[in-house]
Amino acid sequence: MTGPVEHEIAAADGPLPGLLWLPEGASADRPVPGLVVLQEIFGLSDYVRRRCADLAGLGYAVLAPQLYARLPQPVVAVREDAEDLLEQGMALVQQVDWALAVRDGLAARDTLAALPEVDDARVGLVGFCFGGGLAFNVAAAASTAEVPPAVLVSFYGSALPGLLDLAEDVTCPSLHVFGTVDAYIPPETVERVRDAVTAGGTRPQVRFELHEGAGHAFDNPHPLFHHAQASATAWEQTEAFLAEVLPTGRASA
């Protein structure tokens, strides 16, 4: 695996920095599936980068746009040891222009698909927290633009409850992951999300996984959020799901 390396994303609103991971052996002669990874509220943190590296290790080309580069005072990520980590993250995400972030996510998809090492027909989206909802919106936008994603993986998408009118456009194979004690998305809202994204259970390609006792951001290793069992199980589910619907031809590590 090579990366991460800086890779500029060509976007209508101006170039956007991103980080690119390429799996070993990817080439124009042997293109691989691609995944755009969209960050949580803390930015393109060490945690998100580790997940990008995990996905690249499975054989995917991974591009992570630095969405907070668009802010008036650009930020890559909040320091993970900051005492006010949550407060900083909330303050940053409140400055985001959502429509611009959707356009940037779609531009990242197009940039990744254009790489010679990437199979342009097999590019998907993965998002965490803020990025989980954003990935859903980008999936809808990509479908409308007639470049539907090959797959969507959304970890506890915080904006999803307000985006359910887009569910009709997001019909790709999808995995949605939530905890049962999410302080930001109560159980009745999670069930409303489930009903919308699965079209009342009529979309077998959409999977919905609940993790008992896990709160919001449970995959983040920070002690404020981490639920070890839920994190391990959800990542196993993610790997298995991706291997099934977007295979790379490689065995999981």
Tell me the DSSP string of 62-99.
Answer: EEEE-GGGGSSS--SB--TT-TTHHHHHHHHHTT--HH
Does an H or E element contain 118, and which?
Answer: strand 118-128
Looking at the predicted structure, is the pLDDT value of residue 3 above 80?
A: no
Nearest to 109 by CA among 129, 96, 125, 130: 125
Helix pair 130-144, 98-113: axis angle to 10 deg: 70
**Do the beta carbons of residue 102 and residue 170 sit within 8 Å?**
no
Looking at the predicted structure, is the pLDDT value of residue 85 above 70?
A: yes
Nearest to 205 by CA among 174, 238, 244: 174
Tell me the backbone φ, ψ of residue 63, rounded to 5 degrees: -125, 125
pLDDT of residue 142: 98
pLDDT (tens digit, 9 = 90+) per residue, 36-59? 999 999 999 999 999 999 999 999
Residue 169: count of CB within 10 angstroms of its CB: 16
pLDDT (tens digit, 9 = 90+) per residue, 158-199? 999 999 999 999 999 999 999 999 999 999 999 999 999 999
Q: What three-state secondary structure class fits 153? A: strand
Q: What is the mean pLDDT of residues 106-135?
A: 98
pLDDT (tens digit, 9 = 90+) per residue, 199-237? 999 999 999 999 999 999 999 999 999 999 999 999 999
Average pLDDT over the chain reads: 96
Helix%, strand%, coil% for the chain, nearest 5 = 35, 20, 40
Give 2's pLDDT tier (boundaries 50, 70, 90): confident
**Do the beta carbons of residue 74 and residue 68 sit within 8 Å?**
yes
Q: What is the mean pLDDT of residues 86-97?
A: 96
Distance separating the N- and C-terminal Cα atoms of the chain = 13
Residues 6+ apart with CB under 8 A from 123: 33, 34, 35, 36, 109, 112, 113, 149, 150
pLDDT of residue 99: 98
Looking at the predicted structure, is the pLDDT value of residue 252 above 70?
A: no
Distance in angstroms (rounded) separating the CA atoms of residues 179 and 217: 9
Nearest to 130 by CA among 152, 166, 101: 101
Dig out the tokens for 90 from the structure. 């909330």
Give burial (CB, 10 Å; 0-12/13-18/19+) of 102.
middle
Q: What is the mean pLDDT of residues 88-114?
A: 97
pLDDT of residue 253: 41
Give 139's pLDDT tier (boundaries 50, 70, 90): very high
DSSP 166: G
